[in-house]
Every structure is written in structure tokens, then in C-alpha cells.
Amino acid sequence: MTKLVALGIVLAACGTDGGMTVDRHALGVCDSVWTANGFTACETGCMDSSVALLATGPSCQAKTATSSPVSCAKTFVFDGVTGCCASELPNLYFADCQP
């Protein structure tokens, strides 16, 4: 749990100020909700289950960094990019909406 808190602090400190962006596709530790459901590695854009599970944005066709196209039923914005989470147990990937 302390690793997750530390990661959250680092991500908050980095933010997008000063032109820095967060690698939404970097694999890291899933939060407790995801791990309780069998996920062991989450891309940064999907680490926080509450953001993904409470998504209310419009549907889109999306793509992860490692998979074929994904249909996002509901979307959210992470670091300025709209997408959704796509599962491939035990991993969870951030899928970027395609223009």
C-alpha cells in the first residue's frame, strides 16, 4: 500500500505543469480493487479503478499499445488523452480513443 501511495505522490508532483507528461502506458501496480479482481499489472492510465469504473464519457474505438482495436463503451480522460481500460488478464491496459 505504501508503494501505491508513493507512486500517487510522484505522479501528482510530476503532473503536466512545465511540459511534463505521464507515460499512460507504463506498467505498474494496480490498486486494491483491480487486484481483488485478478489484475496484477496496470498501465498508469488505469491504475485508479475508481476513474475507470466511474467513466461517463462517450463511446469510441480505441487501441492499446499492445493490442488490436478495442470498443470503449464509456471513456475518461487521463493526462489529456481520452480512452478506457482494456483487460487482458492479468494485465489492464489504457486504450487511446482513435480519431
- Per-residue pLDDT, 66: 81
Cα(4)–Cα(83) distance, rounded to whole angstroms? 22
* Alpha-carbon dihedral angle through residues 30, 32, 33, 39, given to the nearest 10 degrees: 40
Cα(20)–Cα(14) distance, rounded to whole angstroms? 7
- Per-residue pLDDT, 19: 60
- Predicted model pTM: 0.77
- Per-residue pLDDT, 22: 87
pLDDT in tens, the chain (99 residues): 434 333 333 334 444 445 678 899 999 999 999 999 999 999 999 999 999 999 999 999 999 988 779 999 999 999 999 999 999 999 999 999 999
